[in-house]
Amino acid sequence: MMKQLCFLLLVFALLLYSSTAPAEKIQTVRTMEKQDTFNPYYSRTDTTKLNLSDAEWKKVLSPEVYATARQKKTELSFTGKFWDYTGQGTYYCAACGNALFRSDAKFASTCGWPSFFEEVRKGSVTYLPDRSYGMVRTEALCGRCGSHLGHLFDDGPPPTGKRFCMNSVVLDFVPDIQGTRKMQ
């Protein structure tokens, strides 16, 4: 009789545990995603255009990426992680994962921001006239998500004569796999 009672108690305890465990698990995953600013829109293969509100971006981007990508903040020159970086690979939009530049198109610029002479493919970057701060400039935006990347100038090196002056904080870099030339 005692054995049966113990068995019943064990079954009851297991039932109780299994009914509460999944909820706890979900809560843990969500908490982790929140801490890591999980971004469900980020993809290096999906080229579907994104049209999200700033409120939605704020939920999924880190404060640093959000400040430049959505509020057009310019990082201080010579402070970004890529201004003098020379690794071989591909640069992607840090907000959405869109492929933007190949390292082959990066050049050593004295301006203190990562600079490229051409985008990785037509349409990967889009442009808007920018008349802020009393200057006439061309704003460069991500062709997939519309995030602010930096500006485009006409004082770059051959063959294009263009200078894509970017903010490191809105770039993700993926190195080439050794011996291969990999793009998106």
Q: Which residues are catalytic?
A: 165
Asked whether 111 and 155 are in contact (CB, 8 A), the reply is no
CB of 167 to Fe ion, least distance (A): 13
* DSSP class of 82: T
**Which residues lie near Fe ion (CB under 5 A)?**
93, 95-96, 98, 142, 144-145, 147
CB closer to Fe ion out of 3 and 122: 122
CB closer to Fe ion out of 61 and 142: 142
Residue 163, SS3 per DSSP:
strand
Asked whether 106 and 114 are in contact (CB, 8 A), the reply is yes
CB closer to Fe ion out of 105 and 145: 145
CB of 69 to Fe ion, least distance (A): 7
CB of 122 to Fe ion, least distance (A): 16
Q: Name all contacts of 5-13 with Cβ < 8 Å and 24+ positions apart.
A: none
